[in-house]
Structure 1
Amino acid sequence: MQAGESSAARQRQGTPIWSQAVERFPPADRVLSTILTRQAAQYRDRTLFVFGETRWSYAETAAIAAASAARLMRAGIQAGDRVALMCSNRPEFLEVYLGCAWMGAVTVPINTALRGIQLSHILRNSAPKLLVIEQGFMPAIETLERDVALPDLVWTIGEGAALPAISGSITPLPALGEGASPAPVQPDDTVAILYTSGTTGPSKGVCCPQAQMFWWGVYSARALGIREGDVLFTTLPLFHTNALNAFYQAVLNGCTYALEPKFSASGFWAAARRHQATVGYLLGAMAVMLLAQPKSADDTAHFLRVALGGGVPGQFHGLFLERFGVPLLDGYGSTETNFVFAGTNPSDRPGTMGHLVEGAEACIVDPDDAPLPDGEAGELLLRSREPLAFSTGYFGMPDKTAEAWRNLWFHTGDRVVRDADGHYRFVDRMKDSIRRRGENVSSWEVEQVMLKHPAIAACAVYPLPSELGEDEVAAAVQLEPGHALEPIDVVKHCEGKMAYFAVPRFVRIVAEMPLTENGKIRKVALREAGRTPDTWDRDAAGYRLRR
């Protein structure tokens, strides 16, 4: 019996495939080079990665990781160096990431929509030694603030926009050559820095250790009920945790990872059929957008057994199951933590966070970190019983790390309720972060851009409910005396200076801001007022953003 057959036989006997991964990779082995090498020896020619016409077997993926590592080392990249990566979903993204992980460098994936102040902060904070950028995104470089210097070495992927005149070396991504042996990487070494939006300050770079990504693969596979041989299908961007850790789910559990360039509501099911996908990944508004498509006789002509449905409002779960035959899995996780809450499949309480998973601890507390009883909303605190299952902190921000991980707990900033039956329910965010179409928007960063307009004296950015179940970005603007400004001018000022998804949809020009006794803007009053008669709606006006 072959090794792969032996594993399948054990699964049929009742041992979950994710549990085998925990046994197969003891704590010291939870690094990507060891995982890839061992899985390549077991699965060899089985397909691991599919993107368009590109197909990598397990053995080929390990060889590509080794060759990519050697390419980085020839360029002078050393263990611990940061490699910034601004690239859409394509094989080169994984090439670079795998190479960094293999030789101990740190990948810094950058949201391809970022511009101006947001992009400047990430490059300033991470100080990469190398920037790998898809050539079509080169215009973003021209929006950087003047004090931001690019690394001396820039590699470009593909073709597209003209190259800007910058100092240093700009060359196409070098071809792969011979491979390098795995470096002595440790489970606590940072494998990626993923930037997550702040609320009262700039985005924070979450340091993800090698072992945290291993646990993402294990916890997610456990929640989704992943089986050996499954085809895991995602359209989510690789620069976020979800799509990146789905690769770990695949490699740890003998599955195939099928990646699409981006989400398309009209093309989702055709792509799922083409890949013969058995597990899918949806967030919030995506499921609602699929339900909004015209009904078709092919709605159930697919192989999907389950789909992640974190953030999908409860009222859509039943509709989705009835129409497409696919249960949506409730769950909760964050870049700093892991897949720490999961619902049943199908959900017994649609739209909740589910139950706390084995290996994690949770506590709901008041402002003094005192525990609250069931049924009372408070801040959700988390910690892990498993070594290195959570992030190790924020890169270059020791004060923010200490603040978030105070009193031996990670403070999520989310207001949550634990029901008496053990279900956890998300209520809202403790501060002013905004979640739009699966992206976190920092109100602080948007406000910094808006305040650079000479006619704007004060502004406040806050969330308003979306028809799709998440947030829309709203802004209240107070003008300088003697100045006039139309709402559309506010939007035009923001375009090109920030990610398109952060540009406000709703704009209110107000005579004065609601203030607290200490003179701070009361955003809660603006949120509670909702869409007032003087709120301008970009969508209703038919204004289309440039991207």
Structure 2
Amino acid sequence: MAHLESPAPAATVPELVETAAERFGERPFLRLGGVTRDYAATRTAAAGMAGALAARGCRPGDRVAALMSNRIELVDLILGCAWLGAVAVPLNTALVGGSLRHALDVAQPPFLYGEAPLVARARSVGYRGTAWVVGDADAPRAGAAEPVAAGQVRPGDTAAVLFTSGTTGPSRGVRCPQAQFAWWGLAVSEALRLTADDVLYSCLPLFHTNAVNMLAQAMTVGASCVLDGRFSASRYWSRVAEAEATVVYLLGAMVPMLLARPPGPGDRAHRVRRGLSPATPGPAWGPFRERFGVTLVDGFGSTETNLVIGATPEESRPGLMGTVRPGFAARVVDETLAPVPDGTAGELLVRSDREHAFATGYLGHPPEPAGAWRRTGDRVVREPDGWFRFVDRIKDVIRRRGENISSHEVESAVRSHPAVVEVAAFPVPSELAEDEVMVAVVPRPGRVLDPAELARHCARELPAFAVPRYIEAVPALPLTETGKVRKSALRERGVTVGTWDRAAAAPVASVTSVTSGGRPPGP
């Protein structure tokens, strides 16, 4: 396959949209909610939405928050804001109360566009700016305004603010520049070996970088993309087949959940051959490919960065993230930020040689220096051959009896038990100071989970200090809207009356400083 040419360093979203329209014209670009758009119509829609926003007083640099599910109005808003030079702020539709108030306080958007119940929710927490409701006569629409010429935007200008998941603390608004989306499109399309013949499918929300950047990947090569609603394990492959997808995008607990479903005729009744699936447990790769015919591709990227480390369909290793991608650099360091030898766990630092390929920082914080090393908060190991292996989020490291324990490694051991579908490992306070290891386990349907037997299984897979003391079966793990486990919720809940204690070999009521109670984990 011919190597894709890199876009000019001055790339912006309007340039990406314009170039794609000129190259691919009437080729289908997007299917979403019963609407089908080709590339030429997408350019017209972006220019039209920009005109509609401008007619309602929106100016370059203004922030426009969005509270809506995956729908064509949200795509138009994101592209229209970038076209005008305004800033789209798509918010998690699950935000309520204090979490929604926090996001709005951080973003300070003078405009908000959303579905009626969500706009009402924003009003209820104190939003006082201009609000438009989807479907109302005064709401901006791409087809109801005169298209305008693209604004004089620069590659470093903020195109969107995307909020982090908030799995380890309050969510933060990431300033994503115009060029970052073009570089995402190039980096991932190259890694996945995308072509104009591909159909990309995602059911991830548009307030997440993964779904937004799928649009940029399609524009880079002329592929088609299909955006769906929420993830459903029971309907996933039928939806993929209906979309005629060749490439899928998976996150978090999706792979184990799909594998936990009973085998059926739909497992291979589709065209998918590749899937981008960061942080998929290594033992799941083989069974997933054998059952569904899909090769998973791993990689490291974040809202703040880009696809810095990644694999390809022909060069993938189960459990490893990949190697450093062209235009980026990575190193592993200790607590003093000094490099550590290959094979030693440390924090991952990343850097970009591509101008404006990384976010410029967080709202309320000074801009990050261009070309500077960025801390990721991830513990990784660089193997001698240059492949990187994820160990843990640094905040998820469990400290017990003077030993650092990787929750990721504990989860891998627990997940290898045949009665387990999914697991989350996290620290709870110990009577002896530091932490104890606790796991919340989702049993496989039709299997009975014996905590004592699971503990013995872990003792064969882990060093003694890492074997979980506390085990609790739960119906489901608390997840964010993008499939990440909300470990903060599990830590807050802690040991409950239903928790099995290996030290006592019986359920315990509570542990000092740990919130107890019989409620199931959840948001």
TM-score by length of 1: 0.74
What is the CA–CA distance in structure 2 between the aligned matches of 1:366 and 1:190, rounded to whole Å? 32
What is the CA–CA distance in structure 1 between the aligned matches of 2:169 and 2:72, rounded to whole Å? 34
1:33 aligns with 2:1: no
Shift in Å at residue 158 of structure 1? 4.9
What's 1:167 paired with? none
Q: Secondary structure at the match of 2:286?
A: helix
Deviating more after overlay: 213-222 vs 295-304 = 295-304
Deviations 1:266-323 (A, max 9, x none): 1111111111111100113101111111211231111112001211100000000000
Does the 8 A contact of 1:300 with 1:324 survive in 2?
yes
Q: Could you say if the C-alpha distance between residues 348 and 307 of structure 1 is closer, same or farther in structure 2, counting changes exceeding 3 Å?
A: closer
What aligned pairs does 1:164-313 form with structure 2 within 5 A after superposition? 172-174=139-141, 176-197=144-165, 202-313=170-281
Question: What amino acid maps onto 2:128 in structure 1?
Answer: L
What is the CA–CA distance in structure 1 between the aligned matches of 2:268 and 2:482, rounded to whole Å? 36
Q: Secondary structure at the match of 1:389?
A: coil
What's 2:57 paired with? 76
Provide the alpha-carbon RMSD of the alignment: 3.5
Does the 8 A contact of 1:473 with 1:504 survive in 2?
no
1:388 aligns with 2:356: yes
What's 2:384 paired with? 420
1:378 aligns with 2:346: yes
What is the CA–CA distance in structure 2 between the aligned matches of 1:32 and 1:94, rounded to whole Å? 13
What is the CA–CA distance in structure 2 between the aligned matches of 1:423 and 1:340, rounded to whole Å? 12
What is the CA–CA distance in structure 2 between the aligned matches of 1:256 and 1:38, rounded to whole Å? 15
What's 1:10 paired with? none
What aligned pairs does 1:369-518 form with structure 2 within 5 A after superposition? 369-398=337-366, 408-431=372-395, 471=424, 502=486, 504-505=489-490, 507-508=493-494
1:98 aligns with 2:79: yes
What's 1:15 paired with? 2
Question: What amino acid maps onto 1:319 in structure 2?
Answer: P
Q: Could you say if the C-alpha distance between residues 533 and 315 of structure 1 is closer, same or farther in structure 2, counting changes exceeding 3 Å?
A: farther
Q: Could you say if the C-alpha distance between residues 344 and 254 of structure 1 is closer, same or farther in structure 2, counting changes exceeding 3 Å?
A: closer
What is the CA–CA distance in structure 2 between the aligned matches of 1:499 and 1:333, rounded to whole Å? 15
What is the CA–CA distance in structure 2 between the aligned matches of 1:89 and 1:74, rounded to whole Å? 25
What's 2:48 paired with? 67
What is the CA–CA distance in structure 1 between the aligned matches of 2:247 and 2:239, rounded to whole Å? 13
Deviations 1:337-394 (A, max 9, x none): 1011112425542022111111111111111111111011111100011111111111
Does the 8 A contact of 1:156 with 1:173 survive in 2?
no
What's 1:111 paired with? 92
What is the CA–CA distance in structure 2 between the aligned matches of 1:257 and 1:190, rounded to whole Å? 25
Q: Secondary structure at the match of 1:257?
A: strand
Shift in Å at residue 243 of structure 1? 0.4
Does the 8 A contact of 1:472 with 1:505 survive in 2?
no
Deviations 1:157-196 (A, max 9, x none): 259xxxxxxxxxx954556222111111111111011111
Question: What amino acid maps onto 1:330 in structure 2?
Answer: D
Q: Could you say if the C-alpha distance between residues 79 and 348 of structure 1 is closer, same or farther in structure 2, counting changes exceeding 3 Å?
A: closer
Deviations 1:204-257 (A, max 9, x none): 211111111001001111111111221011011110000000000001110101
Does the 8 A contact of 2:33 with 2:72 survive in 1?
no
Shift in Å at residue 197 of structure 1? 4.5
Question: What amino acid maps onto 1:384 in structure 2?
Answer: S
What's 1:459 paired with? none
Q: Secondary structure at the match of 1:140?
A: helix
What's 2:292 paired with? 324
What's 2:128 paired with? 150
Does the 8 A contact of 1:194 with 1:205 survive in 2?
yes
Question: What amino acid maps onto 2:132 in structure 1?
Answer: W
Question: What amino acid maps onto 1:57 in structure 2?
Answer: D
Question: What amino acid maps onto 1:119 in structure 2?
Answer: L
Shift in Å at residue 422 of structure 1? 1.2
Q: Tell me, which stretches of 5 or more residues in structure 1 are unaligned?
A: 1-13, 160-169, 435-461, 479-494, 511-525
Question: What amino acid maps onto 1:26 in structure 2?
Answer: A
Question: What amino acid maps onto 1:351 in structure 2?
Answer: G
Q: Could you say if the C-alpha distance between residues 474 and 68 of structure 1 is closer, same or farther in structure 2, counting changes exceeding 3 Å?
A: farther
Does the 8 A contact of 1:132 with 1:157 survive in 2?
yes
The count of corresponding residues between Structure 1 and Structure 2 is 446
Shift in Å at residue 42 of structure 1? 2.2
Question: What amino acid maps onto 2:325 in structure 1?
Answer: V
What's 2:456 paired with? none
Question: What amino acid maps onto 1:155 in structure 2?
Answer: W
Does the 8 A contact of 1:154 with 1:171 survive in 2?
no
Q: Could you say if the C-alpha distance between residues 532 and 344 of structure 1 is closer, same or farther in structure 2, counting changes exceeding 3 Å?
A: farther
Does the 8 A contact of 1:85 with 1:93 survive in 2?
yes
What is the CA–CA distance in structure 2 between the aligned matches of 1:97 and 1:360, rounded to whole Å? 27
Question: What amino acid maps onto 1:150 in structure 2?
Answer: R
Shift in Å at residue 431 of structure 1? 2.1
What's 2:449 paired with? none
Shift in Å at residue 40 of structure 1? 1.2
Q: Could you say if the C-alpha distance between residues 222 and 318 of structure 1 is closer, same or farther in structure 2, counting changes exceeding 3 Å?
A: same
Q: Secondary structure at the match of 1:422?
A: coil
Shift in Å at residue 41 of structure 1? 2.0
What is the CA–CA distance in structure 1 between the aligned matches of 2:371 and 2:180, rounded to whole Å? 21
What is the CA–CA distance in structure 2 between the aligned matches of 1:63 and 1:407, rounded to whole Å? 35
Q: Secondary structure at the match of 2:114?
A: strand
TM-score by length of 2: 0.77
Q: Secondary structure at the match of 2:265?
A: coil
Shift in Å at residue 475 of structure 1? 7.6
Out of 64, 69, 89, the residue aligned to residue 70 of structure 2 is 89
Question: What amino acid maps onto 1:419 in structure 2?
Answer: E
Q: Secondary structure at the match of 2:267?
A: coil
What's 2:319 paired with? 351
Question: What amino acid maps onto 1:75 in structure 2?
Answer: R
Q: Could you say if the C-alpha distance between residues 200 and 226 of structure 1 is closer, same or farther in structure 2, counting changes exceeding 3 Å?
A: closer
What is the CA–CA distance in structure 2 between the aligned matches of 1:423 and 1:213, rounded to whole Å? 25
Does the 8 A contact of 1:69 with 1:179 survive in 2?
yes
What's 2:452 paired with? none
Q: Could you say if the C-alpha distance between residues 474 and 274 of structure 1 is closer, same or farther in structure 2, counting changes exceeding 3 Å?
A: farther
Q: Secondary structure at the match of 2:336?
A: coil
What is the CA–CA distance in structure 1 between the aligned matches of 2:127 and 2:364, rounded to whole Å? 18
Question: What amino acid maps onto 2:49 in structure 1?
Answer: S
